[in-house]
A and B are shown apart, each in its own frame.
Chain A
């Protein structure tokens, strides 16, 4: 009896450990593989120079700049609307059919494939609003795609703030907005920031939404205005991996490494912020 219990315990432990290992292996494998394949392609010149010789030499500067601009544009559009919407849902909205409809819309928005967002952006921003294939149209498209992530994580962070804080603030003569600004928002901020970074990080790595709305195959210069097309890391990676014959492997993997580092560093930042504030939290 005892022996069989110990055996089943060992088997269960073994299987669970294996599952954990299976999760970890691909991450190290992917990063390791990319680092090895890029074979030292990533250097200061790679980061700071324009592509040369049909992108087969030189650097990826315009793609880096493009991705930074698109990420910034996404944040400028998605953060105020997303956080504002979350504050409305968590602090103001009563449970009516309108509120429920909004929630269902958000859940569904999160489930739409990114290429559909791309097509939507093409129809609305590029063609109908006549922004052209531009940083503006791409940022708007990515911004809308990011909204559901920011709204749901922000709302969760706001709801985690104890109800008793709101009651106390109200009982001391606080209006709803004073209560939000002085107590609720500061306490929810770390969670909100984490959600924002994770949402925007996802947008930074997307290819499909910018495919029709912002991305250029190759540009010999940096974008000069919001209405310019731009190169971007994910799309550049797609281009040099599939569209250009005779492309050196190391440049492909070098580009992948830059994109990966960009996204991972945002991830790290989110983790650090969360850890820093969790230590300070008193409730």
Chain B
């Protein structure tokens, strides 16, 4: 089968934290453009580490060793010359627990734009509407944008965080268990949103369950203790995996 265009090429990536926790060992993987790329496996496998290395958020953590290469459209991310601030606008992350900033819904959505120096009211207004529509939240909050983001329910907060990332028009949107705290209806909405988003964005999803992984994956990578066990189309991984460990995990033998 033809492989789609690679957005990110990860080669021999090794990351180890100073306290010896969750790390990656000589890790290689491609992330495909305009696909939902699912990273799954038991916790401690290195999924979150990978996400935080991709947009260099790990710079702020206590990383002891980092080597290898990550290329975004052929550009090296891990090089010291990389503009990290710009990189984080291109690869945006949504965390497991929604963290609205202590300000209004509107100010949350435009936060990243304002940091980038955008002042024009019309641009900001238009972005708020577009991002909230994309995150399927506009109908619920469009008429109360000045309210505190903390007035929203958990599911709404998570979609707000998604909108906040989308406002920056990133190229890659990374989601670390975005539905782990949500009810099934909110989860469905977020999943539906992600399927629509992949038309314009590259999506990397760390799902909160194997079921979600199977539902969502165009491509799936199975992580086990810092190692990439298997990586293939979602269809193959969840119907006919080639590794025994993958099969045991998705059938619930361990994990």
Residues of A at under 8 Å CB distance from B? 162, 164-165, 167-175, 178, 182-183, 186-187, 281-283
Contact = CB atoms under 8 A, between A and B. Distances in A.
A172 B99 contact: no
Most buried by B among A162, A167, A168, A178: A168
B239 interface: no
By DSSP majority rule, is chain A's interface helix, strand, loop, or mixed? helix
A172 B57 contact: no
Contacts of A172: 88-89, 92, 111-112, 115, 164-165, 168
A171 B88 contact: yes
Interface of B: 55, 57, 60, 85-86, 88-89, 92-93, 95, 97, 99, 101-102, 111-112, 114-116, 148, 150, 161, 164-165, 168
Contacts of B95: 164, 167-168, 171
A175 B92 CA distance: 15
A169 B161 CA distance: 11
A165 B102 CA distance: 8
A174 B85 CA distance: 7
A165 B168 contact: no
A173 B165 CA distance: 10
A282 B105 CA distance: 14
Mostly, the B contact residues are helix
Contacts of A281: 102
Contact of B57 (A165, A167, A186): A167
Contacts of B114: 182
Contacts of A282: 102, 148, 150
A165 B111 contact: no
A173 B86 contact: yes
Given A168-B95, A282-B148, A173 B168 contact: yes
A171 B55 contact: yes
A99 to B, nearest CB: 15
Contacts of B116: 173
B92 A183 contact: no
A209 B86 CA distance: 52
Contacts of A186: 102
A187 B148 CA distance: 14
A168 B101 contact: yes
Nearest to A162: B99
A181 to B, nearest CB: 10
B18 to A, nearest CB: 11
Contacts of B115: 169, 172-175, 178, 182
B254 to A, nearest CB: 31
Contacts of A162: 99
A278 to B, nearest CB: 13
B76 to A, nearest CB: 19
